[in-house]
Amino acid sequence: MWLLHAMAILNFMRTILLGVVLSASTALAQAPWQMQDSGTTASLRGIHSPDGKSAWASGTEGTVLRTLDGGAHWTRCSTPDADKDGATLDFRGVQAFDQNTAIVMASGPGEKSRLYKTTDGCKTWSLLLKNTDPDGFFDALLLNRFDKDGYLLGDPVHGEFGLWTTEDRGSTWQRSHLPGLMALQKEGAFAASNTSLFVNERHGLVFVTGGVSGARLFFSGSSHEDQFTHADLPIASGTEGAGGFSIEARDGCCRVVVGGDYTKPNQSKGTAAYTVDGGKTWKSAERLPHGYRSAVQWSEGLKLWITVGTSGSDISRDDGRTWQPLDNSNWNALSLPFVVGPKGRIARLDPVALPHSAQ
C-alpha cells in the first residue's frame, strides 16, 4: 500500500510540475512583444522600419542602431560628429529611405537640435541642418521614402511653431511661415516618439500639441501649402507635460490621437481621441488606453490600431473607440513591427499573441 500511495503522490507532483511548465510556456508564447538584444542601454525614442525587415533605432548618447534581418541582430552605427559633441546628442527621431539611407533628428535646446544623413549604411554622416535659435527645439521629422518631400516640426520661437520643408530627400531645408502657425501661451509639441506630425495626400499636413493652454490639432490642406487651422482635442491638458503626443490617419476612414500626461503614466483619463468625419468633430475614446501613450499606428495587415507608452500598450479594432490592454511594459516609440523604450529596450510584435476580441 505504501508503494501505491507513494506513486500516487509522485504522479500528483508530476501533474503539478507539468502544469507549471505548461503555464510558463503558454505565457512566453503569448507575450505580444518579443524582446531583442539591442546591445545598448541608451534610452531609445526613435524607430523606423521602411520594409518590416530592416529598421533603424535612435536615442540618447548619440546612439543609432540598425538591423537588416528583422531584429535578429542589431548593430551600433557610427556616431554623427563623434569627434565633436556627437555622444551628447539625443536622437529622438529617425526616418529611413532604405537599409542604407536614413536621417536622424537630434532634439535639444539651441544647437543640440540637428539633422544628420547617411547614405552608406551609417558608416559616415553629413550634417544637414543645425538649429541656430537658443529657444528652438526640434520635435518631429517626417519623410516620404517614395518621394523627395519631407517636414520638420519645432517648438514655438517668438510665438510661432517652427516648420521646415525639403524637396530633395532632406539634403536642403527651407523654413516655412504659413499662416496659422502661431502658438498659444506655453503651448508646444512633444518629441517623445517622433509621431506628433503626420502627412498624406488625403489628410494634408497635421500635428498635435499640448501644454498649459490645452491640446490642439493643427492641420493644413491637402496641398501642404494652405494655411493652418486649429481644433481643440478632448485630450488631457492644463499642465506642461500633458497633451496630444501622436497622431495617425487611416486612409478613407479616420484619425486617432493619443497622449495624456507623461508625468502621470498610469492615468487613463484623456489618453485617446478619434474622428470619423475628417476632423470636424473629435470624440474621446469610450474605453481608454490604460495609461499615458506616446505613439499610435494603424496596421493595415492586422486591421487594428496599436498604441504604446511608458505604462504599456493597447490595441483597438474599432478605429479608436475602444482600447484593449496588451501589456504593461515601458515603451516610447513604435514603427511596426518594432517598438523601443528606455535602457535599450527593443522588441518585435508577435501577431499570433494578439487577443482576438475585447475583454
Q: For 184-239, how does the pLDDT look when each residue is reduced to its tens digit (9 = 90+)?
A: 999 999 999 999 999 976 668 999 999 999 999 999 975 556 789 999 999 999 99
Cβ-contact 139, 196 below 8 angstroms = yes
- What is the pLDDT, as a whole number, of residue 22? 36
CATH number at residue 172: 2.130.10.10
Q: Does residue 322 sit within a domain?
A: yes
User: Model-level pTM?
Assistant: 0.90
Say if residue 276 is in the same domain as residue 189: yes
Q: Any bridge partners for residue 114, and if so which?
A: 106, 130
Cβ-contact 261, 271 below 8 angstroms = no
How many domains does one find in the chain?
Answer: 2
- What is the pLDDT, as a whole number, of residue 203? 63
Q: Does residue 198 sit within a domain?
A: yes
Say if residue 272 is in the same domain as residue 319: yes
Say if residue 125 is in the same domain as residue 179: yes
Checking if the pLDDT of 310 tops 90, the result is yes
Q: Across residues 155-160, what is the average pLDDT?
A: 96
Q: Cell numbers for 139, please give them.
A: 520635435
The whole-angstrom separation of Cα 166 and Cα 126 is: 16
The whole-angstrom separation of Cα 117 and Cα 95 is: 10
The whole-angstrom separation of Cα 273 and Cα 285 is: 5
Say if residue 2 is in the same domain as residue 88: no
Say if residue 52 is in the same domain as residue 95: yes
Q: Does residue 176 sit within a domain?
A: yes
Q: Does residue 358 sit within a domain?
A: no
Burial of 234 from C-beta contacts in 10 A (0-12 / 13-18 / 19+): middle
- Structural domain of residue 25, as residue ranges? 1-30
Q: Does residue 135 sit within a domain?
A: yes
List, for residues 84-139, the tens digit of each pLDDT value.
Answer: 999 999 999 999 999 999 999 999 999 999 999 999 999 999 999 999 999 999 99
Say if residue 11 is in the same domain as residue 142: no
Cβ-contact 80, 127 below 8 angstroms = yes
Q: Which whole-number Å values give the CA distances from 61 to 89, 93, 315, in the listed order?
A: 6, 14, 32
List, for residues 239-296, the tens digit of each pLDDT value.
Answer: 999 999 999 999 878 999 999 999 999 999 999 999 998 888 999 999 999 999 999 9
Say if residue 127 is in the same domain as residue 11: no
Judged by phi (left if over 0) then psi (alpha if -120 to 50, else beta), residue 283 lies in: beta
Q: Does residue 50 sit within a domain?
A: yes
Say if residue 170 is in the same domain as residue 219: yes
Say if residue 76 is in the same domain as residue 193: yes
Say if residue 151 is in the same domain as residue 268: yes
Q: Does residue 202 sit within a domain?
A: yes
Q: Does residue 359 sit within a domain?
A: no
The whole-angstrom separation of Cα 235 and Cα 222 is: 25
Say if residue 74 is in the same domain as residue 128: yes
Say if residue 345 is in the same domain as residue 225: yes
Residue of 84 and 21 predicted with greater confidence: 84
Q: Across residues 157-176, what is the average pLDDT?
A: 95
Q: Over the chain, what is the mean pLDDT?
A: 90
Cβ-contact 258, 246 below 8 angstroms = yes
DSSP output for 218-257: EE--TTS-SPPEEEE-SS--SSTTEEEEEEEEETTTEEEE
- 3-state class of 9 per DSSP? helix
- What is the pLDDT, as a whole number, of residue 224? 56
